[in-house]
Structure 1
């Protein structure tokens, strides 16, 4: 009833998942800074999330952690689980999972993934997800997770239809107040949850992303920014202070830079004063 990708890129770990199931993000995904990520699905055992992450934290490989945890579970043949650690990846599909069910896992060194699904339209869902992950090499981590999920959805996804999707990822220094949460998004009940998840990710990146393509506030650009801020009521003060005041008002403070103005903040300012 679910398809997911669990992955690592550098120091980032995360999960993207979709299902014909209410609030799949409340059940399937988990990730822990410096440790790994887990997806538990198909008669999911939520306790696997902490059990497997604790085993990874203790130094076990993904394969070993998964084998040890499932050996203690009498319902293991109904489960499907994907696990990625600092130097390993594994997936398992129990013999009693509803068809089509299966998965693939690979560790390429700097990146790794475990892709799995059950009650899918066919194996091409997993194949499309793996291809999208590999083809998106070089893109931001959360974007690669979303690309893989969207590819699986486009290939047929859950054979029963669509309802919910989620993306949870962690990376040192990312997120609000550099808390390490790179993305934490859920679409609990929607006709097109993967597309909606993509919209939310774009918003998340705007509000919580790091500054990018920063331009110095000098010359004509400084004049333009000063004029646009004045039109919004932020004037009569130092330009950097006025920009910070407006950015805080718009919740863009995470994108402020002492070196100038972030490209996406500049775009938002221009849109606000168009």
Structure 2
């Protein structure tokens, strides 16, 4: 009993979902980088997600994969499924026995779907938000989920939310395909909490800073030294000169905060990291 959106932009694949159900992220989203993504919901059969992904990987389009998987399910009219393949083919299925309101909207590269919703405006709002939001796939998925939440979402209430976005080599230090993977398993406002955690994830793990959003180390040396001193990483009085000791203290702080992938080997600091350092040093 859930609302979700499944999508691809031809590079990333992902699912965003929310429900009045504990840990919805453990059951609804299924995805494989460079292959596709699936949401299995209503009286969910998570096995279908793996089967559909496997069929897409073998070359089937999203619709054919879903239809073949459901043909083996005697309770398919209780199921709701959205699927996309990496080529942008999208297909939604809402079984006749899914509790009202239940429905889906399909567009190029996405399916917005849900059941036990406040009304059709939930999936319609998600589709509009997805199509109008600029940015990467993760931005479009989050915008769609927030739009569905504002439009009434699950009419029973709120409990959990999740988002997963996969990109080949797009994960931590390029060692995984997990670009974003966040779950809010039990919270009074899970979609808002998902957005809050995403901001931390983005700052810590995503490398998509504006190339113009930088500061020169020499211009902020005194501020950074003072901030690092307050946090216990710089042991001297600020000199206003960015020297080896300042560089070492800054790198130690960045590693402590898990920002090692945001360290630059030049004379600049990312603006996002600089602002965060000043902010936490003043708390």
* SS class of match (2:6): strand
216-225 vs 29-38, which moves further: 216-225
CA contact 1:211–1:255 (8 Å) conserved in 2: no
Q: Give 5+ residue unaligned stretches, structure 1.
A: none
CA shift, 1:206, in A, is 1.7
Distance 2:7 2:279 in 1: 35
- Higher mean Cα deviation, 206-215 or 80-89? 206-215
What is the rounded CA distance, in whole Å, between the counterparts of 1:103 and 1:203 in structure 2? 31
Alignment match, 2:240: none
Give unmatched runs, 5+ long, in structure 2. 237-243
Deviations 1:198-237 (A, max 9, x none): 1111111122111624525343234433443344343473
CA drift of 1:97 comes to: 0.8
Post-superposition offset of 1:145: 0.9
**1:180-195 alignment, distance < 5 Å:** 180-195=177-192
The CA deviation at 1:115 is 0.8
Structure 2: distance between partners of 1:195 and 1:218 = 35
Q: Does 1:93 align with 2:94?
A: yes
How far is 1:190 from its partner?
A: 1.4
> After superposition, what is the alpha-carbon deviation per residue over 1:175-197, rounded to whole angstroms, capped at 9, x for unaligned?
32321211111111111111111
> Which of 248, 251, 254 pairs up with 2:255?
248
**Partner of 1:202 in structure 2?**
199
Cα distance, 1:143 vs. partner?
2.1
State the partner residue of 1:234: 233
TM-score normalised to the size of structure 1? 0.92
2 CA distance for matches of 1:176 and 1:45?
A: 30
Contact 1:186 / 1:197 at 8 angstroms: preserved in 2?
yes
The answer to whether 1:65 aligns with 2:73 is no
Q: What is the aligned partner in structure 1 of residue 155 from structure 2?
A: 159
- TM-score, L = length of structure 2: 0.89
Partner of 1:139, secondary structure, is coil
**1:176 matched residue in structure 2:** 172
Show the counterpart of 2:241: none
Are 1:211 and 1:256, in contact at CA under 8 Å, matched by a contact in 2?
Answer: no
Q: Secondary structure at the match of 1:261?
A: strand
Secondary structure class of the residue paired with 2:269: coil
Give yes or no for contact 1:163–1:191 (8 Å, CA) kept in 2: yes
Q: Is the 8 A contact 1:83 1:114 kept in 2?
A: yes
Number of residue pairs aligned between Structure 1 and Structure 2: 269
Asked if the contact 1:2/1:41 (under 8 Å) is kept, the reply is: yes
Name the SS of the counterpart of 1:200 in structure 2. Answer: helix
Alpha-carbon contact 1:211-1:262 (below 8 Å) kept:
no
The CA distance in 2 between the partners of 1:52 and 1:4, in whole Å, is: 17
Separation (CA, whole Å) in 1 of partners of 2:208 and 2:69: 41
TM-aligned CA deviation for residue 152 of structure 1: 0.6
Contact 2:215 2:271 (C-alpha < 8 Å) held by counterparts: no
Name the CA distance, whole Å, in 1 between partners of 2:136 and 2:63. 27
Q: What SS does the corresponding residue of 1:34 show, helix, strand or coil? A: coil
Superposition deviation, residue 258 in structure 1: 2.0
Are the equivalent residues in 2 in contact too, given 1:20–1:164 (CA < 8 A)? yes
